[in-house]
Structure 1
């Protein structure tokens, strides 16, 4: 038998030590990896739970918004309401945590409501998650022009044509017809089909028209009647309103008592809603009927107001509560502080008006309201050479138009700042278009401009689409934010 030399024993011992050390190091490494992986798994699971809590916080805030679209403006909250910038405990579905909501209101420069929610578990408050959404509610007034279809009241197609220039988004629930070279400075949407005549060269500054879901019209404006009867002003019979800043003169026929009533310098209603009830018919023989649910309105508004009529609304160029000869002239209906200054720059203003008729919203062209035996003055054409209208207009079942637009004398321009929504396309004039010019034959040319505030705001209790809802434009996970006291 051979014997191992002493030298071989000297070589083997360090190798054994090295192998043992490596094995020990590998064991510690494996243990550390397992431990770190376990910690990582716990942290990841905690973040997932915190993410669920954050989404629950967003969902709760959205629930409040769907009940009250102006919820983000609240300054006082009841016990059960969700208050921003406060820690809210969350104990549901086996989770024990908390969240913190932050809200950035929309502006004319950025008309989206931004909501951020940071959440964490009570057992690990340092392991926070922050998510952010940007949202807006679908409203009729978000377009300077909207229709249920692109036909007029006679059933004829109405085209966007050469000479039409629109400053603001437009939408139709029906087919969109284009013939010529109209200019669209903002977004164009439709819910039916796009029909562009051969040879047309329309200009779309914000991309080609997009097909979207329709905005369903409500059946009537009767919900505004309910608001008017509670904390607003309710009238039953033909009513004339002269806006005088934060007050108004009202001349109304009381259909219940069969008598005229006058209110001088009456303050605007506390909830901002006026409703004029009465008979509904488009038969021209009953235009001046004192029991008709018609409104005649003019003047200057300082404040926020929505005026609704069971039948038609007529915009006048003089104080409609006085005789035509003595009535104070106006520019139509304007804000005390307009949305734009004379140079076209945006201004800060809280003034906002809504006009909502079950029938037509019209510029008055013929004769004048009166309390005499015949109920009106025979004065002929009363449409002004120029007229300004600052308002969101909604003609639920008919149109916005100049009364007798195709037989009125040739006038100048109707300047509108706000929004128009109508069942059918209305007209404010007719014109002859030659090779080098466009000449008004009857009525007005039009200059319509969208009120930028209406991208996110509406007049008081203004009608919403039946299918209205808050749409989330963007969802983002952000780096966790530091929360005061956590």
Structure 2
């Protein structure tokens, strides 16, 4: 009996073990099956993720390819496919040779991808004429995945920077140095002789800075990105004068060199601003001889231009009403600001021109016919043979509160004779372009200058220098003010040579100074908008000003979504 019970117990144990083995086997089988499913799904997701990332990279490859076409041919901005919904109304010229434009659902292969990655794009140029912006929609494809980015492309131009300088020296015509100074410091210029100008103690620059030259800086603070075309192989890319024992601060630092500007290739300045004259004759206003303009906050401007006879020579309407009746303009009148246009002031031309005078010429007397110099003002020294306040010079004298968008360009000098500000800082926009100097008016009265705080809202471009009158030491102007006034610029400044804004010196026991401390602030709108007809560098590359990823514009078969 006991033996039978033992056999029965053993049989029960073997049955329980068998059930346990079968259960464990089923569990292991289930785990293996789950692992296989997870692995397969994971592989699929991983592949999809790789394809998604690859599609985004392919979209950027399309952006770069389009940029390279613009670099090779700036006129390619007019090429595209108006059949694309994104390009509708842009008036583009078909380029069926470019598969990236998507004719018939075509795609362009990403080089080096063996056909596994491709892209296509569409172009919108509706804002190009007014803002200089090209909008590009680029879609990348890898496998069945597509991704789309939309970027705004603008030329790398002067307006991208709060402060741009071609040469970090004073204009040789002002410093009375030879043409040997007309090269960059890293090309072997004698900076001691040529008179380097550096960012000094207390200077704080609130925006991006670029120089084609070597930047000199001493205890200045740069809040934005600073770049230079000095391709120094090692070490920091700035210098200090021998009397400086302080260190500047570059808030945006070179990732390798630390407290240093970054490298960026040079921007080439145009030689003249005469192309704006053509724009003014076509759609703006041309004035002749010294011209004073005072903006008023109601969208108007008081203008006096005594030498002007015809405001659009050669046009179907040579004196359009928006430029003012020439007889009234000569005497002084008030007209609406020619919004969205360019105003060009030319020097009085010679015989044969419609603005040439043979009789009844305006009276100049001691200076020019718009009131400069003042009766108690000493006439500043001439620069490179060009006199200040010349009777027939193509000079602009500007001040006031602007309500509108306009560019003022002078064949000779631009004088900012008082604060020049926006009525609406979010909407108004002013360009000031001098073929010669852009001066901040700082007259010598009874052998002294007495500058007061000045604010300028404008994008400023001088093909010589942006500078303050009578700050050169040889002027020996003595301000003796209790506090140095401030020059505030909200906008951007671009110039061929550095202009002096403040000077101090001593003679015996007496200290002298004249000029302003700087308060320069970048107008961030200039990254996306330009004053009307503003000048661009001679040759440059298009860069991305903004970008976003949008829902895919096309599926993998090239159908618009």
TM-score by length of 2: 0.58
Q: Structure 1 pair 311/66, CA: closer, same or farther in 2 (3 Å)?
A: same
Cα deviation, 1:345-396, whole Å, max 9, x if unaligned, reads xxxx1111110001111122238xxxxxxxxxx9987865211110111110
Question: Residues of 2 paired with 1:56 and 1:137: CA distance?
Answer: 14
Deviations 1:59-107 (A, max 9, x none): 3998699559999xx998255479xxxxx86149899x9967498999x
Pair 474,459 (structure 1): closer, same or farther in 2 beyond 3 Å: closer
Corresponding residue for residue 184 of structure 1: 222
Superposed displacement of residue 415, structure 1: 1.1
Is the CA contact (8 Å cut-off) linking 1:133 and 1:472 kept in structure 2?
Answer: no
Q: CA deviation at 1:161?
A: 2.4
Secondary structure at 2:330's aligned position in 1?
A: strand
1:20-61 Cα deviation digits (max 9, x unpaired): xxxxxxxxxxxxxxxxxxxx9xxx9xx99xx79x94998399
Richer in strand (by share): 1
8 Å CA contact 1:391–1:418 kept in 2: the answer is yes
Structure 1 residues 446 and 454, CA gap change in structure 2 (3 angstroms): same
Unaligned runs of 5+ in 2: 1-46, 80-85, 95-100, 109-117, 128-132, 176-193, 231-236, 254-259, 311-325, 350-381
- Equivalenced residue count is 385
Helix, strand or coil for the counterpart of 1:316? strand
Gaps of 5+ in 1: 1-39, 83-87, 107-111, 318-331, 339-348, 368-377, 434-438
Partner in structure 1 of residue 251 of structure 2 = 205
Secondary structure of the corresponding residue to residue 227 of structure 1 = helix
Among 58, 66, 71, the alignment partner of 1:59 is 66
1:368-379 pair list within 5 angstroms: none
Kept in 2, the 8 Å contact 1:142–1:456? The answer is no
1:138 to 140, 156, 160: 156
Give the aligned partner of residue 281 of structure 2: 229
Distance 1:130 1:61, change over 3 A: farther
TM-score by length of 1: 0.66
Partner in structure 1 of residue 334 of structure 2: 265
Deviation of the 1:273 alpha carbon: 0.3
Which deviates more, 62-71 or 351-360? 62-71
2:501 to 406, 428, 433: 428
How many Å separate the matches in 2 of 1:485 and 1:285?
Answer: 61
Of 137, 161, 165, 1:116 maps to 137
Contact 1:129 1:479 in 2 (8 A): no
- RMSD after superposition: 4.7
Q: How far apart in 1 are the matches of 2:513 and 2:246? A: 24
| Structure 2 residue 307 is matched with structure 1 residue 254 | yes
Report matched runs for 1:354-433 at 5 Å.
354-366=431-443, 384-397=451-464, 399-406=465-472, 407=477, 409=479, 410=481, 411-431=484-504
Q: 1:70 & 1:350 partners in 2: Cα distance?
A: 28
Q: Is the CA contact (8 Å cut-off) linking 2:70 and 2:77 kept in structure 1?
A: no
Please tell me whether the aligned partners of residues 114 and 132 of structure 1 are also in contact (alpha carbons under 8 angstroms): no
Residue 485 of structure 2 aligns to a residue in which SS?
strand
Instruction: For 1:184 and 1:255, locate their aligned partners in 2 and report how far apart those are by CA, in whole Å.
Output: 44
- The correspondence for 2:421, drawn from 331, 334, 339, is 334
Q: Deviations over 1:381-427 (max 9, x none)?
A: 78652111101111102x11121124152451111111111111112
